[in-house]
Structure 1
Amino acid sequence: MMTAKPSTQSDPAMSSQTTQWRASVLTIFPEMFPGPLGQSLAGKALEAGLWALDAIDIRRFASSKHASVDDTPFGGGPGMVMRPDVIDAALEATLAPGETAIYFSPRGRVLDQALVREIAARPKVTLLCGRYEAVDQRVLDAREVEEISLGDFVLSGGEPAAIALIDAVVRLLPGVMGAPEGLDEESFEAGLLEYPHYTRPADWQGRAVPEILLSGHHEKIRLWRRQQAEDITRARRPDLWARYLARKTDSKKKEAKR
């Protein structure tokens, strides 16, 4: 079991020279972290100091007697809104010079592998986890907060989204994955969904493994897998397929101009 605990201070392992990437999470539920991030590959990398995690309680920055972080919305309506003064104080104490925070919102750019790689290239990321109805728009504007969405569905708060983003980033960090070359063949890396996988037994309940995978002919296997990936993407994700074709067309045009 991992020993990493929510903290606003760095543990010695986290401060080691091997740390490549740091995530600071602003939340009213710091006990939700590291959660699943303390297990498996992400957890081992956290323990080894390959990345660092700070779970920071937003309530620490509230000035009221009861540490309230929300209030009723101007103009009426359901729910509560997180106060701009509290959120701004939390961001001021957490953001590195020149850093912009990420706020999880249905209005944001949809998270994809390209954006994950972009975030992985940053030395640090501050994730603002909203709760209640929303965060006051003024602090988002004043801090030029970057908004990101996991998709067209609603969560109770930003914490599950933060866990998903961090997990996606950490597995890209050098030294985390056992076979980094395998990252190149995963879904979305080439703009396609991944091809199907098979293992022993070769015949299971009357379903046989495709013969090509037993042939030992690596080039034919590679071509078969690419064809499978294209067929699956075209059938299941026409949006990805359209972007894939557009990129191929652009690449051919650039090559022709050389």
Structure 2
Amino acid sequence: MDYKLLNGVQTFAPKSREDLISFALKGQKILVAVNAEKILHATDVSRGIINRNLGYPDGIGAVMALKQKGIKSVVKIPGCELWLDIIKAYHNDKSFYLVGGKQEIVEGTVSKLKFAYPKINIVNFRNGYLKTEQEKLNLIDDIARRKPDVVFVAMGSPKQELLMEEMRQKHPALYQGLGGSFDVYTGNVDRAPKWWVDNNLEWAYRLVKQPSRITRQIHLVKFVYLLKMNKL
């Protein structure tokens, strides 16, 4: 699969969701979402996390940058949809482990998944509040013991990526960081309506709903400028 460096961030350019999932599953990769903000504000630490793993274009900014670099067939793959694509494709023959969110959120996520996919094999799950080092070690040991094929970690970046790297050292599997996707899946947090999503305007919808995000979204102007000037 092709990739390009965007401000030093290694970003893969899948032609479809199926290509990305197959590539990641075969290589037992850690999937890391890449968007304009992560590209623009990349540090040595954040670049290292993404470049050690499999960064994919989660936002339209990353897609635009990849296309400018010459990869015209790349598609945007929102992480909040990708994990459900993985489950839909492999719920009959793969096992899953879920980590993240509040206890009632992860429980609600598991219940909804089991209702939607009665044959799904969720070997275990727990909330995302690891209060001590021992709790983290116990979680990693439990994953190594139960040997899931796929592990979803919904804790936000870079915390989830660093944890997944520790997990993968003890148990190779396909890992994906989900941020707040469990909250969206259970309806605790609303995602942008379909029209906004289809027209790559999720960022604008979030800004309308949360005007305080303007200090973050203003950086998108800088990103577009750097993109047009071919400086990414």
TM norm. shorter chain > 0.5? no
Higher relative contact order at CA 8 Å, sep ≥6: structure 1 or structure 2? 2
**Greater radius of gyration (CA):** 1
| TM-score of the pair, normalised by structure 2 | 0.31
Higher helix share: 2
